[in-house]
A and B are shown apart, each in its own frame.
Chain A
Amino acid sequence: MSPRLSPMRKVVTYGLLGLLALIVLFPIYYMILISLKLPKDIYRTPSLWLQGATLKNYVDLLTTQNFLVNIRNSLVVAGAATIVSVFISCLAAYSLVRLKYRYRSWIGRLILLSYLTPASLLFIPLSVIIARLGLGNTLHGLILIYLTFAAPLSTWLLMGFFRGIPADLEEQAMVDGARRLGALFRIVLPLSAPGLVAVSVFTFTGAWNELLLALIFTTSPDIRTVPVALQYLITGDVFRWGLIMAGAVTAAVPVMVLYYLAQRFMVEGLAAGSVKG
């Protein structure tokens, strides 16, 4: 990179960067700001600045709103969906990348098309199917439902990682007497550890962030996930913005940190951002 910009272009460039920072950061700044304010400061003396921060909203959220239960539900659902999905996806991705058999390319195509199929096309029949299975309004049902997007997503991403591992290494292990599956677990998986971490994080954040399906499949208050709980706070009659923003910050910070950490493991470009959103 040649660090040469004419002074004029430098001014324009950094001016535009400043504008970009303002557009990106202002909503986030305001979200955090409101989460630190009392209702009287929000409504009676509104201001873009902080006048005496308070953590009361966060305390209220955790003590009066059952939010800890929502967080637990989200952790259970996203965690379980991730574990199941990454496990079965490892097997499938390995099979599709390394083993040769008929219909292999058709199965690969099916997985990609499933990944592209939006939840908005599937939620109506799924609601009938889940009710028939007697899993309506349970966390088990939601975990199962989340495999609709988690399994194709993790299989597709893992296929990319497995392709990057030289096949010679496995042949080597198999000469040494290891079986196919042994090669998968002893050679391929350890080598793609960064990929496994990244894929797990993307699957987890996908499930943690999901609203539509959670709204349909978890109706009673004690099994609501975080997005659903916040949704009920903003569709009520009174907007308690301080409380709502405390919830928003709490829901966003952990997954954003994870996302940034995992993103560094991903190949630059499409794969790095291609989580359904």
Chain B
Amino acid sequence: MVRDRSRAVTRPPGARETSGQATRKLTLSLTQRNSLLGYLLVAPVLVCLSLLVVYPFLFAIWISFTDRTVGAEGRFIGLGNYAYLLWQPSFQATIWNTVVLVGVVQTLKLAAGLGVAVLLNQPIRGRRFWRGLVLLPWAMPAFVAFITWKLLYAPQGGAFNLVLLGLGLVDSHVDFLSTKALAMPSVIVATFWRGFPFWVISFLAALQSVPRELYEAAAIDGAGAWQRFHHVTLPSIRHVVLVVLLLSTIWTTNGFENVWLLTQGGPSDATMTFPVLAYLGLQSLRIGEAAAVSVSMLPIFAMLALFVAKLLQEE
């Protein structure tokens, strides 16, 4: 639509030259006017982000070095909060849980994302329908998805217990979310379900932009299906895979809804993650300590964010 209209506009002959001369005469002042206008137009967003992102970001780091509580400014205690946290079992559990949760979920998403994208990239009927279907969990609000999974796992009224009992696979109700060994796998499955469509859709778009000739040439050279995937498909979608992996890792590490709505970090910290621990710290009014919890994610976040920002701006 955009393209059609641009073609419809015809340039009156000679107009270009006149404007060129006019611009040259006024070059300096026009450039200045343009840059002034540029600053003015970008100012509202810039002010808003300085106040709501940059300042809070730096403020968080400062707070994490104080023993601030609600109602008391607190004083500078250096690395006191961090030293205290390192000896806390809940903080140690949080580090380990995050590694497990993010590691397993991202591996599953990568495998399923590639697999389903390849599946949907075949000559199947109604591809648009299947694409729309896969997108459903992602289009759904995260809080709705995780409340629904809480119901699926529920001992009373939950679908999984209904099926397991009905098939005679278990003798009594399984309490997925309150059993220490089952809580983390349950959170992982739900997090995977909600997140994998983003990978599928991104990979599918990338696959569809790989030129057919490359495959044909590879086939003529006698490459098998696996070799074609390895030597043609993977190199062509490498960039997209990397961007998706980084973006999704930032989102997954900082996800709050999944753990909060399913387990609130329990049972006994078995599913505790940084955002939930920081939120609980804020609820217990120990602001300095809570800030230290969220700031301890900062080094990893900064690394991922700078890397993905570089990749996105190259595009």
Contacts and interface: CB of A to CB of B under 8 A. Distances in A.
A126 to B, nearest CB: 5
Contacts of B139: 255-256, 259-260, 263
Contact of B38 (A34, A101, A211): A101
Contacts of B132: 260
Q: Is the interface of A mostly helix, strand, loop or mixed?
A: helix
Interface string A238-259: 0101001100100110011001
A124 B286 CA distance: 10
Contacts of A230: 143-144, 147
B297 interface: yes
B275 interface: yes
Contacts of A4: 123
Interface stretch (A50-58, A60-68, A111-119): A111-119
A20 interface: yes
B201 interface: yes
Contacts of B254: 118-121
A152 interface: yes
Interface string B226-258: 000000000000001001100100110110110
Interface in A12-70: 13-14, 16-17, 20-21, 23-28, 30-31, 34, 42-43, 46-48
A56 B130 CA distance: 33
Interface stretch (B40-48, B100-108, B178-186): B40-48
Interface of A: 1-5, 9, 13-14, 16-17, 20-21, 23-28, 30-31, 34, 42-43, 46-48, 88-89, 91-92, 94-96, 99-102, 104, 107-114, 116-129, 144-145, 147-148, 151-152, 155, 164-166, 168-169, 171-172, 174-175, 180-181, 191-192, 194, 205, 208-209, 211-212, 215-216, 227, 230-231, 234-235, 239, 241, 244-245, 248, 251-252, 255-256, 259-260, 263, 268-270, 272-274, 276-277
B110 interface: no
11 contacts: A9-B122, A24-B133, A28-B148, A96-B38, A112-B312, A123-B294, A155-B45, A172-B15, A180-B37, A277-B194, A277-B198
Interface string B288-315: 0011001101100100011011001100
A273 B201 contact: yes
Contacts of B150: 234
Contacts of B260: 211-212, 231
B174 to A, nearest CB: 14
A152 B194 CA distance: 24
A117 B141 contact: no
The 4 closest A-B pairs by CB, nearest first: A269-B205, A101-B35, A99-B38, A118-B254
Given A230-B143, A235-B264, A114 B53 contact: yes
B140 interface: yes
Given A92-B44, A120-B256, 18 more contacts: A1-B123, A24-B136, A27-B148, A27-B149, A30-B159, A99-B38, A107-B42, A109-B309, A110-B49, A116-B309, A118-B250, A129-B55, A169-B6, A256-B136, A269-B201, A269-B205, A273-B198, A277-B198
Nearest to A41: B157
B42 A92 contact: yes
B287 to A, nearest CB: 6
A252 to B, nearest CB: 4
B35 A5 contact: no
Interface string B9-47: 101000100110000000000010011011111101110
